[in-house]
Structure 1
Amino acid sequence: MALGIADFDQVRRVVRERSGIVLAERDAQEIETRLLPVAKANGSPTPEAFIARLRTLPALAAQLVEAVAAHSGGFTVDSPASDMLSGTILPALIMRRQSCRRLRIWCPACGGGQEPYSLALLIRERFPELSSWDVVIHASDPSAAQIAKANAGRYSGVEVLSGLPTPVLLKHFANVGGAWEIKDSARTLVRFNAATLIADWPPLEQMDIIFIRNVLVYFGLRTKRAVMERVRSALTPDGYLFGGSADARELLDERFERMQDEQSGFYQSV
């Protein structure tokens, strides 16, 4: 049974204030499922009891937001986006950055780290010439738990078998105690930090590529516009933006041009 109206409204208000995410009524059942283990961990028998405690213990709000906002995509070494990245975008950037030999990539809302690590694996596998370049993949997420998972770089067999070719897995991961731990060959390219897209950001480097796949869809219109302005300001004038199909309407304006392969989700700053 989904949360009641009053309880769900309380959850929506807290989540929107703290993360900018706008929950729809259809999310009530999913939110109840996500809150159940959090409630039990805090000594509350039900999600409703946990929500009631929020009124007297505001510190629990951080756990609420973590449970609601946490997401984790799979590894994507083999995908249309990876093909576009390795076949068109990175070769073009390598040509244009020969003088500085520097690349910066940013993955906001990186979840448990699979997306930025996928980029690191792609670079190591397909662009050995970049081993002498200054390459950094910045990755952020509002969930401290997800950032801890990403920094640990340890994944279950189910997680690594989704999207990772076996040769890549065996080359760049070590089996440690039944889990798969990413090796330094790819790990050293990625820098993780806990941050939300709506909070004050630390000073950002100019990014050559920004991945913002299926993130904007969770925000209200005003927040979407504010986030996109900040993302644009962090992108180099000739940089690339990657968005999922759910973000397409927000990404399509006169300052971005969709790449030829519509399945890839890439846009170039113009």
Structure 2
Amino acid sequence: MKPDDFDYVAQMLKTRSGLVLTKDKSYLLESRLMPVARKRGFKGLEELVAQLRRRDESLAQDVTEAMTTNESFFFRDMKPFEQFRDVVLPNLLKARASKKSFRIWCAAASSGQEPYSLAIILKEAAAKMPGWRIDIVGTDISREVLQKARAGLYSQFEVQRGLPIQLMVKYFKKKEDQWEIDPSLRAMVQYKEWNLLSDLKALGTFDVIFCRNVLIYFDQATKGKVLENMSRQLTDDGVLYLGGAETVLGISDKFKPIPGQRGVYAVNKPGAPAGAPSLGTGS
């Protein structure tokens, strides 16, 4: 790919999605965009970029989706889900006992494995929360992966990857050459197309936010902006989950690490009630 073509696409992607591509990622750009070029009938990437320069919004959407679609699997890295089940959920049930409701946001839902993993945890704990209303909202910038998430259909490889066999048998049903998630779990998650660079107010307030393995693709300024916006959508005692390679340190003062809970952060709001317990502290 020509250097000026790379620069054009990289700038477009940063503007549209926050994704930062450095010159050494040229191979990634080419490998992700060649299928788009073939699908569109272009002879190569030069023709594709030429069409992008004509402000082809449909093509720009396809290119953005191709570059921002990341793999996902059930109970990815496991530790955050165990921490949610064993620490955050019990504290949520205590802290929200009067209103019997709470909301979870998966900010990069991809093809649905993360929000459905949380739904499974909540389903397994249903006996402890009769009469509770729990909202799980999954958002992503990619329409394609959201369609897959809403369908709740996964390949044999996808259900075997990270999903314990007993849960696969309990919550999935074979449908031709795919596995379909139980309708009751699918009904627990609401999916929305959303760009993290957009205004988040319309999404409402959440008690728990999962934003794992997303910030690593942004530059420092964009990371800070996203974290600041998320802090406004999180309850004062809520928690934020980031990926294992991500941190708020040196990026934003809107969150603070929760001691002993790697990758989990509490809101650092000046207006928060003094001594307010965080849902992630176990207090």
TM-score by length of 2: 0.88
Shift of 1:144: 0.7
Measured in 1, the distance between the counterparts of 2:160 and 2:2 equals 38
Secondary structure, counterpart of 2:212 in structure 1: coil
Secondary structure, counterpart of 1:191 in structure 2: strand
Shift of 1:193: 0.5
Shift of 1:204: 2.7
Compared CA separation, residues 254 and 7, structure 1 to 2 (3 A): closer
Could you say which residue in structure 1 is the equivalent of 2:48?
A: 50
1:138 maps to amino acid: V
1:196 maps to amino acid: N
Shift of 1:128: 3.0
Measured in 2, the distance between the counterparts of 1:202 and 1:151 equals 23
Shift of 1:238: 0.4
5+ long unaligned stretches in structure 2? 269-283
Measured in 2, the distance between the counterparts of 1:180 and 1:258 equals 37
Map residues 82-231 of structure 1 onto 2, 5 A cutoff.
82-201=81-200, 203-231=202-230
1:16 maps to amino acid: K
CA contact (8 A) 1:172 1:185 kept: no
Shift of 1:179: 0.5
Secondary structure, counterpart of 1:163 in structure 2: coil
Measured in 1, the distance between the counterparts of 2:55 and 2:82 equals 48
Q: CA offsets, 1:86-144, max 9 Å, x none?
A: 11111011111110000100011111111111110111123432352100101100011
Q: CA offsets, 1:169-193, max 9 Å, x none?
A: 1111111111011112211110000
Could you say which residue in structure 1 is the equivalent of 2:272?
A: none
Compared CA separation, residues 39 and 31, structure 1 to 2 (3 A): same
Could you say which residue in structure 1 is the equivalent of 2:273?
A: none
Could you say which residue in structure 1 is the equivalent of 2:33?
A: 35
Shift of 1:31: 1.4
CA contact (8 A) 1:77 1:119 kept: no
Aligned residues: 266
Could you say which residue in structure 2 is the equivalent of 1:7?
A: 5
Measured in 2, the distance between the counterparts of 1:23 and 1:213 equals 19
CA contact (8 A) 1:124 1:185 kept: no
Secondary structure, counterpart of 1:139 in structure 2: strand
Compared CA separation, residues 201 and 221, structure 1 to 2 (3 A): same
Could you say which residue in structure 2 is the equivalent of 1:267?
A: 265
Which is worse superposed, 95-104 or 242-251?
242-251
Shift of 1:52: 2.1
Shift of 1:57: 5.0
1:112 maps to amino acid: S
Could you say which residue in structure 2 is the equivalent of 1:258?
A: 258
| RMSD (CA atoms) | 1.8
Measured in 1, the distance between the counterparts of 2:235 and 2:221 equals 24
Compared CA separation, residues 77 and 18, structure 1 to 2 (3 A): closer
Q: Greater helix percent: which structure?
A: 1
Measured in 2, the distance between the counterparts of 1:167 and 1:16 equals 42
Compared CA separation, residues 164 and 49, structure 1 to 2 (3 A): same
5+ long unaligned stretches in structure 1? none
Measured in 2, the distance between the counterparts of 1:98 and 1:195 equals 31
Which is worse superposed, 212-221 or 154-163?
212-221
Could you say which residue in structure 1 is the equivalent of 2:18?
A: 20
Secondary structure, counterpart of 1:135 in structure 2: strand
Measured in 1, the distance between the counterparts of 2:261 and 2:60 equals 42
Measured in 2, the distance between the counterparts of 1:10 and 1:34 equals 16
Identity across matched positions, percent: 35
Measured in 1, the distance between the counterparts of 2:112 and 2:243 equals 17
TM-score by length of 1: 0.92
